[in-house]
Structures are given as C-alpha cells and as structure tokens.
C-alpha cells in the first residue's frame, strides 16, 4: 500500500507509552506537518505549545479526567481566531486547527510514534486546566492536547469504512 494511506489506516489512539523520550527533531517535524495543513483563506489562526516538562505533564494527567496518559510529550493545539483578519475566515478556526491536529497524528504514525487526541475546547473546565498549566492568554483557546510518545501497546490498522454512510449525488 502507498505509505500515506498506510499511515492514515494505521494511526490509532495510543494510551500507553514507553519511557523513551521523543527526539526534539521529531517534535519539530510534527509541527512542520501541522503547519502544512489547509486553513480558511490561509489565515493559519493557530499556536502550538509543546510540553515535555514532567511537572506540567503530571498536571494534565491529574486534572484532565480523560487525559491520564503517560506520554513524555504533549502538543497543545490552540486557536487564535483574531489572526484570521477576514471575519468569515475567523469562523473556521476549529476546522483550521483540527486539520493541523490530524496532520500531527498522521505524521507521528509515519515516524513510529504514538499519539492520542484529548479534546479540550469547548468544555470550559478542560479549557481552564490547560490555560492554567501552560499560561495561555484569553485570546488563545486550546482546542486539543495531543500526547506523543513511543507506543507501549499495539493496535491494528483499520478503515472503519461504512458503505451506509456514503451517499452519491443525493442523500438517501
């Protein structure tokens, strides 16, 4: 299979990680992949906070009820809607940042890394935790936190393709 499709199908949420640290060059590659994503009117209304500090990661684990994962790194994908100067483009910040997040997940898979997306926005309590831990200003909103590390669990590739959800020409 071609390597791009292979990475898309084999990307799975990894919730158990080894102690091996993620090389900074690999984290940098993930951010390059993130910022290659398409955005409305190419406004790129995003900010990324890379967290490798064990104390901050411990805060995430303890304070995010669905985010208790032992990865050695996390990338917080944030939206800064005001960077979209066009008012219509500004409405699309969630899609823009989601595209960047998905690029991170697929690029990580291709580098032999595991990831899991932890949803933050629009749950106010989760947003508060992340703002507090990484010191975000009011105009920057954390969309999600992506744990990154070397997998300590194996999961199979799959597509989840469901023919009944596909409609040609007209919804049926």
Ligand X SMILES: Cc1cc2nc3c(=O)[nH]c(=O)nc-3n(C[C@H](O)[C@H](O)[C@H](O)COP(=O)(O)O)c2cc1C
What the block records as the tokens of 43 is 């406004």
Written as six digits, the tokens of 86 are 């066009």
CB of 152 to ligand X, least distance (A): 15
- Tokens standing for residue 88: 């219509």
Cβ distance to ligand X smaller for residue 22 or 77: 77
Residue 69 CB, nearest approach to ligand X (Å): 7
Give yes or no for a contact between 97 and 79, defined as CB atoms under 8 angstroms apart. yes
Cα 55 from Cα 120, distance rounded (Å): 19
Give the start-end residues of each E strand in 27-157: 46-51, 73-79, 114-119, 141-149
- Alpha carbons 88 and 114: distance in angstroms, whole number: 35
Structure tokens belonging to residue 167: 């409609």
Q: Is 45 in the site for ligand X (CB under 6 A)?
A: no
Angle at Cα 25 formed by Cα 9 and Cα 76, nearest 5°? 65
Site string for ligand X, 21-40 (x = CB under 6 A): --------------------
CB 7 within 8 A of CB 60: no
Residue number of the CB atom closest to ligand X: 119
Q: Measured from the CB of residue 165, what is the shortest distance to ligand X in angstroms?
A: 15
Which one, 118 or 134, has the nearer CB to ligand X?
Answer: 118
The answer to the question of residue 15 lying near ligand X (CB under 6 A) is: yes
Is residue 31 a contact partner of residue 108, using CB atoms and an 8 Å limit? Answer: no
Residue 87-126 contact track with ligand X, rule CB under 6 A, x = bound: -----------------------------xxxx-------
CB 168, min distance to ligand X, A: 25
Question: Smallest gap, in angstroms, from Cβ of residue 120 to ligand X?
Answer: 8
Give the footprint of ligand X on this chain (CB under 6 A): 12-13, 15, 66-67, 116-119
């Amino acid at each position: 299979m071609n390597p791009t499709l292979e990475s898309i199908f084999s990307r799975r949420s990894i919730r158990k990680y080894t102690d091996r640290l993620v090389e900074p060059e690999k984290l940098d590659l993930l951010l390059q992949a993130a910022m290659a994503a398409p955005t409305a009117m190419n406004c790129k209304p995003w900010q990324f906070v890379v967290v490798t500090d064990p104390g901050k990661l411990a805060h995430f684990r303890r304070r995010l009820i669905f985010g208790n994962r032992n990865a050695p790194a996390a990338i917080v994908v944030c939206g800064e809607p005001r960077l979209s100067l066009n008012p219509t483009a500004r409405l699309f910040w969630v899609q823009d940042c989601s595209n960047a997040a998905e690029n991170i997940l697929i690029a990580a898979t291709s580098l032999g890394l595991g990831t899991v997306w932890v949803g933050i926005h629009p749950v106010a309590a989760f947003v508060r935790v992340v703002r507090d831990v990484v010191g975000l200003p009011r105009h920057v909103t954390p969309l999600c936190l992506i744990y990154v590390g070397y997998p300590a669990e194996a999961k199979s590739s799959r597509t989840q393709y469901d023919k009944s959800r596909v409609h040609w020409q007209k919804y049926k």
